[in-house]
Amino acid sequence: MRADAARNIEKVLRTGARLLAQDPTTTIAAIAVAAEVDRRTVYRRFDSRETLLAAVYEARLDAVGKAIAAARLTEAPVAVALHRYVEGIITATREWPVELQRMRADTGIRDRRAEFIAQVAAFIQRAVDEGLFRNDFPEGWIQALLIHTVNVAAHEFPGIDAAQAADFAVDSLLRGTGRT
């Protein structure tokens, strides 16, 4: 693919992610206009809206996968891995704001998402085993709290850079917000 064509596809995917996060019914034509490319350019690469949607979601999953790999959840010290993971997922979420849950019918996307969830669950268990997290919460509590904390940091505080947002998120997870 030529460099300019690759840039156009990247613009279409990023624009699509942003617009679809705002309105899941966004059309290819609206995405093309916002990405400042001809609609025919979009249709040459994506033969249907569903194909474009799948490509946007795959791009999101690619970013999540890179964040998980960079965090080194099985090798790095747990506190370091936690911060790397949170910062990476905040960045991925901001760059690709579409919700992966909307693509549950796509088995490839669903399976990749499940794999990532399992990797994070294993990391959380490692963090519990090593004493970073308490062990008296109901199963799934810490993972749900992690997901929601990351989403708050990514979406509710876009003016805070990802590293500082990760600092706040990790501190909130580890210490809470009270003075005790």
Reported as a single tens digit per residue, the pLDDT across 12-66 is: 999 999 998 888 888 889 999 999 998 888 888 888 888 888 898 899 999 999 9
In the chain, the domains with their CATH numbers are 1-47 (1.10.10), 49-175 (1.10.357.10)
pLDDT in the model for residue 1:
61
Q: Which of 15, 16, 53, 132 minimizes the C-alpha distance to 85?
A: 132
Among 32-41, 67-76, 92-101, 117-126, name the one with the lowest average pLDDT: 92-101
Phi, psi dihedral angles at 95 (to 5 degrees): -75, -35
Between these two residues, 4 and 57, which has the higher pLDDT value?
57
Distance between CA 150 and CA 154 in Å, rounded?
6
Under 8 Å between Cβ of 70 and 88: yes
| Res. 165: pLDDT tops 70 | yes
